[in-house]
Structure 1
Amino acid sequence: MKLTLATLCTVLAAASAFAPAPSMKSSTELNMKNEPTSRLQFIQQSVAAATAFTLLPTPANAAKYGSFGAGSPEVLDPATAIIDDEILASEAVQKAFAAVKNYKASVEAMKATLDKDDQADIGPAVRKELDFVQLRTDLNTLNTAFDEDTQRGTDRLVRLIMQDVTELETANKQKSGVKRSEIRLNIMYGKLEKLNKAFSDYLAFV
């Protein structure tokens, strides 16, 4: 940490208060004898004061390094995921696992539908194939196979998936008799691609 000139002057001024006051009955010989000691003490005190000032916690340090011991960061790399094989092999989790893979396949099918007909209404398919309540239940059930640290990462993906489904259904809405523009079509393709990637990222943990 660099001390500004003003800060250094303040530190030196504070440190000088600790320096011994000159004796009233000083002589040239006595002053010359005591000067090295006084200067040494002054320098030592100045360094000590500057060091103490440097080590004081500051908002800048807190912002740079953050708090310590605040918990493990989110696990976002599937390679570091920890899975309970016994829970994963359970009937409920295997059923949820298969369901999540079907959700991803449904998203790909919706894209294929738009490829064939860019005016297709995929709203009914979204509501049927990606039922919000059942989707959330299946994702949470599959999530139980992961350890607590891994769930910090997969929970984030679950939230993204649920949000993407809502955004996809909203993007699909079109006024009756109004043709879907290329801009709106591209928005829908973007939502489908984003949702498909979120499912892929989630399944990569299994």
Structure 2
Amino acid sequence: MKTAFPLTLAIAIGSATAFAPSQKAFVASSTSLAAENTRKEFLTQAALLTGGFLFSPSQAMAAKYGSFGAGSPEVLDPTTAEIDTDILASSAVQGALKKVEGYRSIVKDMQKALESDGQANLRPIIIKNLDFAKIRDTMNTLNTAFEEDTQRGTDRLIRVILQDITELEQANLQKDGIPRSPRRLENLQGKLVKLDLAFEDYLAFAK
């Protein structure tokens, strides 16, 4: 009879333990819930950031051309550009505008040349028609039609264009007797696309 009570107590404790919530299960459940909440927060923040980026032209341009933060005076959104219409209408600036449009046409001609012949040597065209000094002077003349804050942005675009021309010339280099590989052709075509877009972005300020 003395052993009955301890045995009964052991059975009771065992039963209580069996029906008690598992501490490990509770911890796992809490961890899972926290992870799910963190994921939801991340997705929400990502959606907000993406939405803000998609609906902010100046931020999109900044991502393309450099560190122009929100509220920066170095505006790269053509819709907010300040233009002196009298200066823009002057013969000197209109002449510069036509030359810049001509530079972009030359880029498109080179794109067509590569489409026809992937081994085409673009260097003679670059040297003859995309002279650094002339392009800089021409675009600086066109820049005089923009107000000071807008010029800070267009000045940056001018530097981008000159850099793109340098990269284009380097990408065109090819040893004599060695055909241009598909990879090098793709790289060269990419440089032309980049330069064309840079001219397009710059010309958008004069429209």
| TM class, shorter-length | 0.5 to 0.7
Gaps of 5+ in 1: 1-70
Tell me the residue number matched to 1:9: none
Tell me the residue number matched to 2:158: 158
Tell me the residue number matched to 2:80: 80
Aligned ranges 1:99-138 → 2 under 5 Å? 99-138=99-138
Aligned ranges 1:20-39 → 2 under 5 Å? none
Query: C-alpha root-mean-square deviation of aligned residues, in Å?
Result: 1.1
Q: Which amino acid aligns with 1:133?
A: A
Shift of 1:72: 4.7
Spell out structure 1 runs of 4+ moving beyond 6 A: none
Shift of 1:73: 2.5
Shift of 1:157: 0.5
Output the CA distance in 1 between the equivalents of 2:153 and 2:89. Answer: 21
Shift of 1:94: 0.8
* Larger helix proportion of the pair: 2
Aligned ranges 1:1-206 → 2 under 5 Å? 72-206=72-206
Output the CA distance in 2 between the equivalents of 1:184 and 1:72. Answer: 38
Structure-1-length-normalised TM-score: 0.65
Q: Is the 8 A contact 1:72 1:149 kept in 2?
A: no
Gaps of 5+ in 2: 1-70
Output the CA distance in 2 between the equivalents of 1:171 and 1:72. Answer: 34
Q: Is the 8 A contact 1:96 1:138 kept in 2?
A: yes
Structure-2-length-normalised TM-score: 0.64
Q: Which amino acid aligns with 2:183?
A: I
- Identical positions, percent: 59
Matched residue pairs, number?
136
Output the CA distance in 1 between the equivalents of 2:152 and 2:128. Answer: 29
Shift of 1:91: 1.3
Tell me the residue number matched to 2:26: none
Residues 143-198 of structure 1 show CA distances to partners (whole Å, capped at 9, x for unaligned) of 11000010111111100000000110111010000010111101100100000000
